[in-house]
Amino acid sequence: MSMAKMRPALPLLLLLLLFLFSPSAAEIKSLTINSDSRPMILLEKFGFTHKGHVSIAVSSVSVGVLSSSVQPESSRLGFFLLNEEALLQVLMEIQQNPSFCVLDSHYILLLFTFRDLSPPPFASFNRSYPVTSPNEYSLFFANCAPETSVSMSLHTESYNLDSDSSRDYLSAGQTHLPSLYFLFFLTYLSFFSLWLYIYFSNKLSVHPIHLLMSLLLLVKALNLICAAEDKHYVKVSGLPHGWDVLFYIFQFIRVVLLFTVIVLIGSGQFGFRCDRGNRTFHQRLGYLESDFLACGYYLLLCHYFPYCMVH
């Protein structure tokens, strides 16, 4: 295939590859698209179980043409689901034929096209679709009509049904995160209480940095309880209700405190020199500090590289 033929498909290929690195979202989404001419738009990425559903409502749909000679076909614009395994097959189809429309692919789960819209002036559509094949899917909007732009109001909901038929808006694999975060909150709260007990039981032998370490444990506990509440509200309602803001605030404070503790210990600002009578205690305290820093490094790595916790 010549470079001239590959060039039109290259932006679309790069766009699709970037979608693989998009974070999973589980919130109910409402957005407005104005005069958008992109060939593909990633709307949401969600992990479905065998009782998954995706609901799409569009309204005030209008298609603008950049040239008066263009008459767009309504079947060339629509919504579809695509999993990561099928993405490679779609990429191969695009490579073989740069003018290929992804809506014609056999590897996608086509939901509907603009042909299914109600007649103007309403131009709307609202339907829920079951997803019976468990997998992680990306919801796309595709515009295969050349020299056109699309404007519309869009509302999407992705969820799985529990055994009691209640909606779970968390992606598959994340449904137990609220309980897990709460368990870790209690664990860190216990560590915080133990650390304070050791601190106040040995006031003559400890340093101010040890109190800073206890503050780090407290902030981490608050960060986890905010994460638990955030995921809980997303699970039951599809919206975080502001808990995500508190989560990011405590997360920022935690990272600042962690690096502050590491820098202070590494620079020797609090020299741990002691007399012979307190040497045993300080040796034990040194071991605790080493474990504390090791856990801090591990949690920091697992936050930015979550796959290190797998297996």
Extents of the domains making up the chain: 3-168, 177-309
Residue 275 has pLDDT above 70, yes or no: no
Query: According to the model, what pLDDT value does residue 204 have?
Result: 78
Query: According to the model, what pLDDT value does residue 240 have?
Result: 76
Residue 110 has pLDDT above 50, yes or no: yes
Q: What pTM was estimated for this model as a whole?
A: 0.72
Residue 282 has pLDDT above 80, yes or no: no
246: exposed, middle or buried (C-beta count within 10 Å: 0-12, 13-18, 19+)?
middle
Q: Which long-range contacts (CB under 8 A, 24 or more apart) does 294-298 make?
A: 296/216, 296/258, 296/261, 296/262
Q: Please indicate whether residue 263 or residue 222 has the higher confidence score (pLDDT).
A: 222
Query: According to the model, what pLDDT value does residue 183 have?
Result: 97
Question: In whole angstroms, what is the distance from residue 9 CA to residue 102 CA?
Answer: 12
How do residues 36-94 score in pLDDT, each as one tens digit?
999 999 999 999 999 999 999 999 999 988 777 678 888 999 999 999 889 889 888 88
Query: According to the model, what pLDDT value does residue 113 have?
Result: 93
* Position 11 confidence tier, pLDDT thresholds 50, 70, 90: very low
Task: Name 305's Cβ contacts closer than 8 Å, sequence gap at least 6.
Answer: none
Task: Name 7's Cβ contacts closer than 8 Å, sequence gap at least 6.
Answer: none
Residue 80: its H or E element: strand 77-83
What length does the chain have?
A: 311
Task: Name 54's Cβ contacts closer than 8 Å, sequence gap at least 6.
Answer: 46, 48, 81, 111, 128, 129, 131, 137, 139, 156, 157, 158
Residue 186 has pLDDT above 90, yes or no: yes
Q: With pLDDT > 90 as the criterion, what percentage of the chain qualifies? A: 47
Which of the residue ranges 201-210, 218-227, 276-285 would you say has the lowest mean pLDDT? 276-285
Residue 131 has pLDDT above 70, yes or no: yes
Query: According to the model, what pLDDT value does residue 262 have?
Result: 82
Query: According to the model, what pLDDT value does residue 289 have?
Result: 54
Query: According to the model, what pLDDT value does residue 243 have?
Result: 84
Q: Please indicate whether residue 298 or residue 249 has the higher confidence score (pLDDT).
A: 249
Query: According to the model, what pLDDT value does residue 177 have?
Result: 92
How do residues 191-219 score in pLDDT, each as one tens digit?
999 999 988 888 777 788 888 889 999 99
How do residues 137-154 score in pLDDT, each as one tens digit?
999 999 999 889 999 999
Residue 292 has pLDDT above 90, yes or no: no
Query: According to the model, what pLDDT value does residue 83 have?
Result: 92
Question: In whole angstroms, what is the distance from residue 202 CA to residue 168 CA?
Answer: 49
User: If you search the block for the tokens 């808006």, which residue do you land on?
Assistant: 169
Query: According to the model, what pLDDT value does residue 2 have?
Result: 45
Residue at 16: amino acid letter? L
What average pLDDT score do residues 11-31 get? Answer: 54
Residue 130 has pLDDT above 60, yes or no: yes
Q: Which long-range contacts (CB under 8 A, 24 or more apart) does 290-295 make?
A: 292/213, 293/261, 293/262, 293/265
What average pLDDT score do residues 161-176 get? Answer: 91
* Position 260 confidence tier, pLDDT thresholds 50, 70, 90: confident
